Amino acid sequence: MPPPPPSSIVMVTTPFVPGYRIVRTLGVTWGLIVRSRGLGRNITAGFRSLAGGEITEYTQLLDQTRGEALQRLAQHAQQLGANAVIAVSFDSSELGDVMSEILAYGTAVQVEPDAGPAQPVQLR
């Protein structure tokens, strides 16, 4: 399993970070990885597909690959000067029937703690 993303990067699927305000938008950030399934996994998965059900070899491979794509996303965001990534999403595609491309992407931003709701002004 890949190491977790850098802890100084907050990553969310929402267009905001609760409790923080965006002070600067730095642009699109991404983490990309292309992974081959390998001959051994293809053979094992082929036999499992005959019986039906989940093909755990592929599930584990894709889970690991998504984790690595998130790690690369966080590293790229840090290089841009971000401390958060909003609107994080995934995309995937197949390359040549034996490779999978996993892309994690979002918007790199700088955030700071929100001062909280404004206090109502007392009118007299």
Where do the domains of the chain lie, and which CATH numbers do they carry? 10-113 (3.30.110.70)
pLDDT 10s digits, 60-117: 888 999 999 999 999 999 999 999 999 999 999 888 777 889 999 999 999 999 986 6
pLDDT 10s digits, 3-13: 555 568 999 99
pLDDT 10s digits, 24-61: 999 999 999 998 866 555 555 555 555 667 778 778 88
Tokens representing 105 are 């992407």
Q: Is the entire prediction scored with pTM above 0.85?
A: no
What's the confidence (pLDDT) of residue 84? 98
Report yes or no: 102 and 25 within 8 Å, Cβ to Cβ: no
Rg (CA), the chain: 20
Label residue 1 by pLDDT band (50, 70, 90).
very low
Question: Measuring CA to CA, which residue among 93, 74, 103 is closest to residue 12?
Answer: 74
What's the confidence (pLDDT) of residue 96? 76
What's the confidence (pLDDT) of residue 35? 85
Q: Which residue has the tokens 């971000």?
A: 82
